[in-house]
Amino acid sequence: MIRAPAKMPMKRVGECDLCGDCCRTLSITASLSNALKQHRSLDEIKLYYSHRNIRVAGTNPEKDYLFIEIDLPCGQLDEKGHCKIHSERDKLPFLCQNYPTAPDDIENCGYQFIPDIIPKLSSSSQ
């Protein structure tokens, strides 16, 4: 029996280039099963949300996730779309301090994800 390789761990490299693209949309992870109970199908969920300017960005049925997005810019963006508090780490929400945690669809993000192929040393080998 041939097994598929485990999902390769990735690590984030680079730095924020202050483009503000990640701050223009509110992304929410909801319960897919609850949404399906209310709307009967994914197509109905998409239709219902589209009437409220909410996009279904994707699903992960294995984890019961429904990813939705709303065009709702952060209130901390200045007139050029840059974060006014980016340099004040203590004022940033946790999510902002750690974003992105996985690759997303922002084309010109200063962060990239590469395979994390460096093996971790066990405590017995140190």
Q: What is the pLDDT of residue 72?
A: 95
DSSP conformation class of 12 = E
Under a CB-based contact definition with an 8 Å cutoff, are residues 42 and 36 in contact?
A: yes
Tens-place pLDDT, residues 71-125: 999 999 999 988 999 889 899 999 888 888 887 777 788 888 888 876 666 655 5
Determine phi and psi for 54, rounding to 5 degrees: -115, 130
> What distance in Å separates the CA atoms of residue 27 and residue 105, rounded to the nearest whole number?
12
Tens-place pLDDT, residues 38-76: 999 999 999 999 999 999 999 999 999 999 999 999 999
Under a CB-based contact definition with an 8 Å cutoff, are residues 105 and 27 in contact?
A: no
